[in-house]
Copies of this chain bind each other. A is one copy, B any other.
Amino acid sequence: MAGYTFVKFDLDKTLETMQKADVRYLCIKDFHLPLKSNEDEIAAFHAKLASKGVKGYAVGPIYMRSEAEIDNAFQYAKRVGVNMIVGVPDYELLPYVEKKVKEYGFHYAIHLHGPDMPLYPDADDVWNNVKNLDPRIGICLDIGHDTRNGKNPVKDLKKYHSRVFDIHIKDVTGTTKAGYSVEIGRGVIDIPAFVKMLRKVGYTGVCSLEHERNMDDPFMGIAESIGYFRGVIAATQK
């Protein structure tokens, strides 16, 4: 589960909802665990997650607009005890990100955000910016935003899977900026084809639901989306 799904809810409600939907992995957002958290606060956070059967598998997305913010994010990830950061660094900071990746040994997945922002609109853009950097710098493939930028996430997964380290699953109503997030299965993304491609390329990372509809009352939408994705997984097993 992408933490952003619960931008309007505290950690307790987040974990209650994840437990109801039987989801076990959380990408940790700063509004649930601030970047300035100390080791005691982080230990308490992990203990609370563990009490609900949930594990934090990465942090982010974290926007990084300076070397100091990059330093801060890597130190935070190390304190949190994960080895992957989902990040959005300004383009000119990529060489500094690479330096930090080599220093920490972390994976760094750049979140793409469709036509809404100038930074990293789609998987092509991330790929072109990272292909010559350390192979631990790659993509958090947001299949909704990729689609909203006119791209095909199934094809992009096939092309770029060697650098896809995290995936945000969702569905959207269209292939342009006007397309908006809906429950998985109600939009235009070919989820069965995407799941088949996950198997074909041997993806071993997490698929995190980033649910961005009815964010004041997202609970049934979250459950429907999780159910749909699981149904597709079950039905495409050999």
Complex contact B185–A234 (CB within 8 A): yes
Complex contact A185–B231 (CB within 8 A): yes
Majority secondary structure of chain A interface residues (helix, strand, loop or mixed)? helix
Known: A235-B192, A235-B195. A21 touches B220 (CB 8 A): yes
A190-238 interface (Cβ within 8 A of B): 191-192, 195, 219-237
Which residue from chain B places its CB closest to the CB of A17 in the assembled complex?
Answer: B220
Partner of A219, one of B195, B219, B233: B219
A22 to B186, CA, bound (A): 9
Complex contact A227–B219 (CB within 8 A): no
Asked whether A26 is an interface residue with its Cβ less than 8 Å from the other chain, the reply is no
Complex contact B223–A191 (CB within 8 A): no
A227 to B17, CA, bound (A): 16
A229 to B232, CA, bound (A): 9
In the bound complex, residues from chain B placing their C-beta under 8 Å from that of A237 are: 192
- Copies held by the complex: 2
Which residue from chain B places its CB closest to the CB of A230 in the assembled complex?
Answer: B185
Complex contact B232–A234 (CB within 8 A): yes
In the bound complex, residues from chain B placing their C-beta under 8 Å from that of A184 are: 227, 231
A235 to B184, CA, bound (A): 13
In the bound complex, residues from chain B placing their C-beta under 8 Å from that of A191 are: 231, 234-235
A153-179 interface (Cβ within 8 A of B): none
Which residue from chain B places its CB closest to the CB of A225 in the assembled complex?
Answer: B227
Asked whether A122 is an interface residue with its Cβ less than 8 Å from the other chain, the reply is no
A236 to B231, CA, bound (A): 10
Complex contact B234–A223 (CB within 8 A): no
Interchain residue pairs A-B with the least CB separation, the first 6: A231-B231, A227-B227, A235-B235, A224-B227, A227-B228, A228-B231
Given contact pairs A22-B183, A185-B231, a sample of 6 additional A-B residue pairs in the complex whose CB atoms are under 8 Å apart = A21-B220, A184-B231, A185-B227, A195-B235, A224-B226, A228-B230
